[in-house]
Amino acid sequence: MVSVFDHGFLYGDGVYETIRSYGSRIFMRDEHLSRLFRSAAEIGLTMPIPLKNWGDILQEAMMRNDVGTDRQDAYLRITVSRGAGDIGLDPALCSSPTVVVMAKPLAPPASHLYEAGVNVIMASTKRNLPSALSPQIKSTNFLNNIQAKREAIAAGAFDSILLNWEQHLTECTISNVFFVMDGTLRTPALECGLLDGITRSIVIRLAGELNMHVEEGRYTVDQLYRADECFLTNTSMEIMPVTSVDRRPVGDGKPGPVTLKLREQFGAVRSRL
C-alpha cells in the first residue's frame, strides 16, 4: 500500500515507464529501462533496484498476473516515486523510493480505429516549456497532458495535439505525431519540446530503410492542415492513422499509403525488437 505521505502521491514527485509485450517478449525492454533510469537521474532519484535485475522482475510480474503469454499480451507500468516523507518539497525528507510494478492485459485500441483512422484536435493547452520541465523526463506529474486530454474528450476526439511556446507542433498527450506533406514524412523535432518516443525512433528508422525521405523540424498547424497523411505512434497502440484534424479531413479522409506501409513494416519486425 502506498503511504499518504508518499511524495509521488502528494507532489507528483516520481518517474514512470510503460512497456508492452508481444507474447512473452517485452518490446524494446532495454530501451525502456534505460529511459526510466535516465528520468530518475534527471530528478536526482537513485533507483533502488539495479538495472540488471529488472528483466527478471518484469517477467515475474507477467507470470504472477497471467499475462505475457501466447494468449495475452501484457501492459507493464513501472512507477518509482521519491518515497514517503514528511510534508515539504525537500527530497531529503524521503528516505527511500517507492517502487510499483503493474502488469495487466494489454487492451489496444479497437481494430476499426486503425481501419477508419481517428480524429484529433489542436489543444488550447500549450506544452510545458522544456526549461520548466524537460519532456525527456517521464514524470508522474501529468497535469499538462491531462488538461489537453480533457479538451479532446469534450470535443469527442481521440486525442489532442499540443503546440509549444512558439506555436509549433509538439506531440499528443501520450503519443508522437507524424505527417506526410509534399512526399516527405515529417515529425516535430525534439527541440520543439516533446518526448523522444521509442516507437517514434523505430518509425524513423523503418522509414529510412524503406527509402522514404524523413524530416524532423518545426511545423505549424497550417502545415498539418495541408498534410496528405497523418499518424500517431506510441508503444501500446503502435501506429494509429489520423484521418481528420479539427474536423478537417487529412488527405482523402482515409489512412494513406505511407501510413499503411509503415504499419505493415512495423508489424513485420515488432516481435524481434
- Residues with catalytic annotation? 138
Q: Compute the distance between CA of residue 86 and CA of residue 151 in angstroms, rounded to an integer.
A: 35
Q: What DSSP letter does each residue of 170-213 carry, written as one string? A: EEESSSEEEEEETTEEEEE-GGGT----HHHHHHHHHHHHTT--
How many CA atoms lie less than 13 Å away from 166 in the CB half-sphere?
12
Q: Compute the distance between CA of residue 147 and CA of residue 173 in angstroms, rounded to an integer.
A: 9
Task: Name residues whose C-beta falls within 8 Å of residue 15's C-beta, 6 or more positions apart in sequence.
Answer: 36, 39, 40, 43, 45, 79, 80, 137, 138, 139, 140
Cα–Cα separations (whole angstroms), residue 38 to 34, 62, 128, 139, 162: 6, 24, 19, 11, 24
Partners of 126 in beta bridges: 163
